[in-house]
């Protein structure tokens, strides 16, 4: 088979506990698809070591020496999940006809890969992995996620609800995605922008196989805010509206105060004064912080620093046969 070469990109950060099972599960999927002649026999698993502090990279190297279809790249330090995905796609797109991205924790059902490949053969360039329920989530996470998707929709950001970074992209779709040069990455918001024919594959999400989550609440909130400020200027408009409302309220209070003074009803207003100070102070701090977030993103973008630096990689060496 000359075409249909698949690379499965797996970002890894301190995944030594789950990696053996991940290699086993994804390796089985890869061999099954090769046996069914749906993908090229040179198809690969590409593990991206995102600055892990455990034995993740040593395990990747061991597996790559034992199995020809296992490859890997190592960052010089931790650059973050989104950059790890981008690095894997940037390398894989040189040789692959389709690329699937999936996390190493096995929460996303690997069996959905069969359906994704089938959708690719049906002519779809983008295939989203969408979870069919949120039963494994806590009450807080489930409802905040729903609120977040609704908020992003109202802000004009075209997200696929209940879809994260588990997806298939064709070669041309991947090349289009890589042409977006921003460094404030929010891939689940960027992929719908490329506009190619897309489909959805539904699957049940599982509990993490082993290890601990790499997305605690603080990191999830930062990621959510990054998504909002990377794709919408609605918060800036909200600040403008808030400023107008505050100004109108202040004018009304000023007129009310003057009327009370003329009528001789001057009463000590310590409480109302303190409330006003705190309210206006809070609004000002929120406004400055929001504007500062956008200024910070501009500051990051204009420096044009590299998104990541690779210390080691063996993918291109193993793929030389296809280049010939």
Is 227 among the domain residues? Answer: no
Both 26 and 166 in one domain: the answer is: yes
Contacts for 297-304 with beta carbons within 8 Å, 24 or more apart? 297/184, 297/229, 297/230, 300/183, 300/184, 301/182, 301/183, 301/184
Both 174 and 256 in one domain: the answer is: no
Both 247 and 280 in one domain: the answer is: yes
Both 127 and 255 in one domain: the answer is: no
pLDDT in the model for residue 44: 93
Both 256 and 144 in one domain: the answer is: no
Is 275 among the domain residues? Answer: yes
Which residues of the chain are modeled with pLDDT < 50?
1, 317-324
Is 225 among the domain residues? Answer: no
Both 62 and 150 in one domain: the answer is: yes
Q: Which residues pair with 49 in a beta bridge?
A: 12, 74
Both 171 and 242 in one domain: the answer is: no
Round to whole Å and give the CA distance between 285 and 280.
9
Is 254 among the domain residues? Answer: yes
Is 228 among the domain residues? Answer: no
Is 226 among the domain residues? Answer: no
CB 90 within 8 A of CB 178: yes
DSSP state of 194: G
Give the total number of structural domains in the chain. Answer: 2
pLDDT in the model for residue 271: 52
Both 239 and 143 in one domain: the answer is: no
Both 183 and 262 in one domain: the answer is: no
- Strands laid side by side in the 98-101 sheet: 198-203, 126-131, 163-170, 98-101, 6-12, 44-49, 70-75, 310-313
Both 290 and 319 in one domain: the answer is: no
Give the range of the structural domain holding residue 117, as residue numbers without chain letter.
6-214+313-323
pLDDT in the model for residue 183: 75
Domain containing 29 — which CATH number? 3.90.550.10
Both 14 and 113 in one domain: the answer is: yes
Both 299 and 317 in one domain: the answer is: no
Q: What angle do CA 70, 75, 80 make, to 5 degrees?
A: 105
Is 123 among the domain residues? Answer: yes
pLDDT in the model for residue 320: 45
The answer to whether the pTM exceeds 0.75 is: no
């Amino acid at each position: 088979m000359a075409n249909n070469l698949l690379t499965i990109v797996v970002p890894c950060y301190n995944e030594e506990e789950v990696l053996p099972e991940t290699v086993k599960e994804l390796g089985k999927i890869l061999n099954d698809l090769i046996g069914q002649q749906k993908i090229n026999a040179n198809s690969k698993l590409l593990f991206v070591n995102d600055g892990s502090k455990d034995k993740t990279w040593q395990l990747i190297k061991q597996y790559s020496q034992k199995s020809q279809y296992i490859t890997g790249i190592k960052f010089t330090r931790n650059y973050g999940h989104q950059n790890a995905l981008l690095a894997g796609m940037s390398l894989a797109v040189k040789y692959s006809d389709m690329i699937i991205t999936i996390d190493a924790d096995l929460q996303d059902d690997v069996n959905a890969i069969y359906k994704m490949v089938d959708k690719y053969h049906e002519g779809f360039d983008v295939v989203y992995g969408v979870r069919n329920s949120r039963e494994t989530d806590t009450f807080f996470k489930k409802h905040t996620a729903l609120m977040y998707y609704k908020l992003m929709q109202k802000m004009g950001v075209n997200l696929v609800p209940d879809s994260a970074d588990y997806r298939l992209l064709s070669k041309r779709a991947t090349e289009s995605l890589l042409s977006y040069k921003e460094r404030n990455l929010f891939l689940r918001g960027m992929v719908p922008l490329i506009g190619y024919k897309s489909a959805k594959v539904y699957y049940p999400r599982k509990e993490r196989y082993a290890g601990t989550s790499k997305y605690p609440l603080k990191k999830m909130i930062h990621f959510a805010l990054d998504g909002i400020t990377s794709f919408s200027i609605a918060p800036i408009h909200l600040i403008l509206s808030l400023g107008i409302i505050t100004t109108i309220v202040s004018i009304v209070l000023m007129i009310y105060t003057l009327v009370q003074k003329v009528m001789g009803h001057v009463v000590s207003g310590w409480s109302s004064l303190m409330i006003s100070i705190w309210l206006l102070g809070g609004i000002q701090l929120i406004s400055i912080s929001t504007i500062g977030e956008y200024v910070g993103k501009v500051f990051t973008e204009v420096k044009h620093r590299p998104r990541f630096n690779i210390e080691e990689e063996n993918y291109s060496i193993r793929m030389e046969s296809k280049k010939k």
